[in-house]
Structure 1
Amino acid sequence: MDDLKRRLLQRIIRTMPTQMLKTTLSKWARLNIEQQESLDFTQPKFLLTDQLLALCGESGLGVKHITELEMIYIIDNPNQRLWHAYQLLEAGDDAHSVEVTNFKEQFKVHLTELIRHVSIKIKKHTDEAVWIRIAWGDRSSRPNHLKPTYVVHHLQTPYVFVTNLTSKTMPLLSQALVMATRYSSMKDANLSGRNLSAVRDLLMKQFQQVFPSKHLQPLGKKNQINSNPQIEREQDEQSETRLQIACEAFGGGTLPELQKAIYTLETKLKDNTNKIMTEREQPFRCVVTFKSTNILESLRHSAMTGIASTPVTPMLSSISQKGRNHFLITDKGPGPQRKL
């Protein structure tokens, strides 16, 4: 157990800047003021780990207390992980009346019935989100606290955000969640990203959406020397149209910071000059990934400036309109049609 405590502390301390560690320890509140002030944050982190371990021993703190420290850090810094979005389906009559205490009890009961060795910690955040930390074990081994799953769920919504979930534990989590939330099933929302707020805002449509309008807003006046009034008017009208189309496709104002969009192609190759590929039974497969610090902002800017053609293809506009960034493109009938 002491070795596990050391490894957990080492991982937490290694990933945190010193000033953030001070703040997190203060929020943790498991060490008294005197113990916190005795910590030397200028020493190497392996020595700081030893000092913290000694203080935990003095205070009788174990693994469950150190996982609280990790949870505080993850809640305050969620963008250190890759989050996957899921959607709960077919709400029961009492789904919208589930409150935190009942959810906690039901989730723990159902998950522990499904798997014997599991450690569950649930905390309600200030933004009303319920955070769940799950350390998974199996029939013969204790929960692995070094590879926990984190789950974020806003009660009274059908959305769940998960990080570090394996295919083996996915059915267990899904069953426990749908029973605790009074839904019938849960499906992959085909949306993921490192910015948890962006993934949440995109899925919940919590950004400025722009709807089609025949009355375009005039652009600001441009300072042009020796400009032709007719050319200037035509350019302004084209710019206004592109701006309207771009905002209708991707949204207006500040957009969620999504870093990538992934398109998986599974289709027959249509090229009469390449019989080897066209006659094969298996579909042609490839993956195309768009990456940017803010993919939606980049795509909107491309459409606004004329770099990308308008109207915007549904394969791109579906990112914001459908709240997805993973798409499967397949054959649909005899023609080169796309399925989104």
Structure 2
Amino acid sequence: MDDSAKRLLQRLMRRIPTPTLRSALEKWGRLTTEQQKSMDFTQSKWALTERLLGICEVNSAIFSEIQINVNQGMWYAFQLMDPEDDAKSVDLTQFKEQFKSHLRELVRNVSIKMKKHTDEAVWIRIAWGDTFSRPNHLKPTYIVHYLQTPYVFVTSITSKQKPLLSQALVLSTRYQAIKDANLSGRKLTAIRDLLMKKYQQVFPTKYPIPPPENNQTISNQHIEKEQAELAANRLQMACEAFGGGMLPQLQSAVYKLETKFRDHSNKTMTEREEPFRCVVKFTSTNLLESFRHCASSGIASTPVTPLLSCIPLKGRNYFLITDNGPGPSSQRGQPQV
């Protein structure tokens, strides 16, 4: 370990309360079972810190490569735009060298660590500094980029850091621009699977799903058959809209409304030149599963409204709803997303 990593580890050990130190080291996951057992938590914090520093020296552990819990914090998705001819030929070595080079040209004091995982994702940890201060390892930015794809996922970044990171990513990946994908969530795997279509998609079929067989005595077979067919059709349409099987655990969706207020009984609001503005937010532990259940059970009408089905279709969970018209400020026509 270098001196900066040692100092960082010592600072973090001082911040962690002694009663929670054991669980914090278990979550860290850098110590073997035997090494954890060798830690005597009845000792002083100073003695425990020295013991941990010794273990890290033995393991040649690099503290700055510790991964954060991927389900903590808010992750934001971005999409690289307009690839150059050689964009798909950029390999890991080229990406590492060029990303570090470009970012260090923009930021004088910055610490950059990269690691490629088994799922082909490149994890980047950036500790930011500036002209007069060293990199702050306590507030790093994490970036996950899948090589050969235009998708980038970022957490813990400020408005000041965002353009610097964007420029370094564009130059090192051979793209010409990067845009906000309007997709965010606390579960990295959820927004990744939604954006990259890594879930079971169900496509429209001419024939509805056959109803399950029922061996019980049916008093009225015609009514029972009709109800089963309706239920099967609802399930088919719900799966076509949101997917089948296990769905990405998206936790929220936001709709920002900027449309003309339409109510003939309220002339004051209807005759306003300014658009009517409001925000609607849906939240759930698994929003897509909730929507699918509402549609398949008959709680919500089918076919599913495009306002909801466009979440998996477009890979977004933030939408601005405006009116159709010749310009961006027009209030004529039907609302559009």
Tell me the TM-score normalised to structure 2 length: 0.86
> Paired residue for 1:78, among 66, 70, 79?
70
**Aligned equivalent of 2:335:** 338
2-structure distance, mates of 1:15, 1:290 = 38
- Structure 2 distance, partners of 1:211, 1:121, is 42
Q: What's 1:195 paired with? A: 187
| Equivalent residues of 1:264, 1:287 under 8 A apart | yes
Alignment match of 2:51 (pick from 49, 55, 74): 55
Q: In 1, are the aligned partners of 2:111 and 2:126 still within 8 Å (CA)?
A: yes
Decide whether aligned partners of structure 1 residues 25 and 201 sit closer, same or farther in structure 2, where only a CA change above 3 A counts: closer
Change (3 A) 1:40 1:281: farther
Q: 1:252 to 1:10 in 2, by over 3 A?
A: farther
Corresponding residue number in structure 2 for 1:40:
40
Aligned residue for 2:336, secondary structure, equals coil
Aligned counterpart in structure 1 of residue 237 of structure 2, from 214, 237, 245: 245
Query: Could you tell me which of 150, 159, 173 is aligned with 2:142?
Result: 150
CA change 1:172–1:14 in 2 (3 A) is farther
Distance across 2 between alignment mates of 1:15 and 1:89: 49
What amino acid does structure 2 have at the position aligned with 1:114? Answer: L
- Which 5+ residue runs of structure 1 have no aligned equivalent? none
Please give the per-residue CA displacement for 1:305-327, whole angstroms capped at 9, x wherever unaligned. 11001111111001111111111
Please give the secondary structure, in 2, of the residue aligned with 1:132. strand
**Aligned match of 1:306:** 298
Give the equivalent residue in structure 2 for 1:117: 109
Q: Residues of 1 paired with 2:215 and 2:209: CA distance?
A: 19
Residue in 2 that maps onto 1:21: 25
What one-letter code is carried by the residue in structure 2 that aligns with 1:142?
A: R
Give the superposition deviation at 1:277: 3.7
1:231 pairs with 223, 227, 251, which one? 223
Select the residue among 264, 270, 280 that pairs with 2:256: 264
Moved more, 253-262 or 137-146: 137-146
1:185 maps onto 2:177 in alignment:
yes
| Paired residues of 1:35 and 1:55 also in contact (CA < 8 A) | no
Q: Secondary structure of the residue that 1:304 maps to in structure 2?
A: helix
Unaligned regions of 5+ residues in structure 2, if any?
326-330
Query: Is 1:261–1:326's contact at 8 Å kept on the other side of the alignment?
Result: yes
1:336 Cα deviation after fit: 5.4
- Name 1:66's counterpart in structure 2: 63
Q: Distance in 1 between matches of 2:270 and 2:128?
A: 46
Residues 331 and 287 (structure 1), Cα distance of their counterparts in 2 relative to 1, 3 Å cut = same
Native 8 Å contact 1:250 1:320 kept in 2 = yes
Amino acid at match of 2:40: D
Is contact 2:39-2:51 (8 Å) kept? no
How far apart are 1:337 and its partner, in Å? 2.1
Looking at structure 1, the residues matched to 173 and 208 of structure 2 have their Cα atoms a distance apart, in angstroms, of 44
Aligned length: 325
SS of structure 2 residue aligned to 1:311? coil
Q: Which residue pairs with 2:328 in the alignment?
A: none
What residue identity is the alignment partner of 1:260?
Answer: S
* Aligned counterparts of 2:293 and 2:29: Cα–Cα separation in 1: 43
Check 1:150–1:278 CA distance in 2 against 1; reply closer, same or farther (3 A cut).
same
More off after superposition, 121-130 vs 295-304 = 121-130
Contact 1:265-1:284 at 8 Å conserved across structures: yes
Select the residue among 8, 11, 14 that pairs with 2:12. 8
Q: Percent identity?
A: 60
When residues 116 and 268 of structure 1 are mapped into structure 2, their CA distance, relative to the original with a 3 A threshold, is: same
Report the alpha carbon displacement of residue 38 of structure 1 after superposing the two structures with TM. Answer: 3.4
Q: Does 1:322 align with 2:314?
A: yes
More displaced, 295-304 or 207-216?
A: 207-216
Residues 213 and 17 of structure 1: is their aligned pair in 2 closer, same or farther, counting only changes over 3 Å?
farther
CA change 1:58–1:207 in 2 (3 A) is closer
Query: Contact 1:122/1:133 (CA < 8 Å) preserved in 2?
Result: yes
Deviation for aligned residue 1:271: 3.2
Q: Indicate the residue corresponding to 2:129 in structure 1.
A: 137
**1:151·1:160 contact (CA, 8 Å) conserved in 2?**
yes
Contact 1:250 1:300 survives alignment (8 Å): yes
Indicate the larger mover: 224-233 or 156-165: 224-233
Alpha carbons of structure 1 residues 34 and 301: separation in structure 2 relative to 1, 3 Å: closer
Q: Write 1 or 2 for the structure with the bigger share of helix.
A: 1
TM-score by length of 1: 0.85
The answer as to whether partners of 1:9 and 1:66 remain within 8 angstroms in 2 is: no
CA distance in 2, matches of 1:190, 1:200: 13
Hey, what's the Cα distance between the residues in 2 that align with 1:15 and 1:215?
Answer: 61
Q: Cα offset for 1:228?
A: 1.1
Q: CA deviation at 1:135?
A: 1.1
Q: SS at 1:86's partner residue?
A: strand
Report the 3-state secondary structure (helix = DSSP H, G, I; strand = E; otherwise coil) of the residue aligned with 1:210: coil
Q: Is the 8 A contact 1:13 1:21 kept in 2?
A: no
Q: 1:296 corresponds to which residue? A: 288
Q: CA deviation at 1:241?
A: 1.1
The structural deviation recorded for 1:58 is 5.4
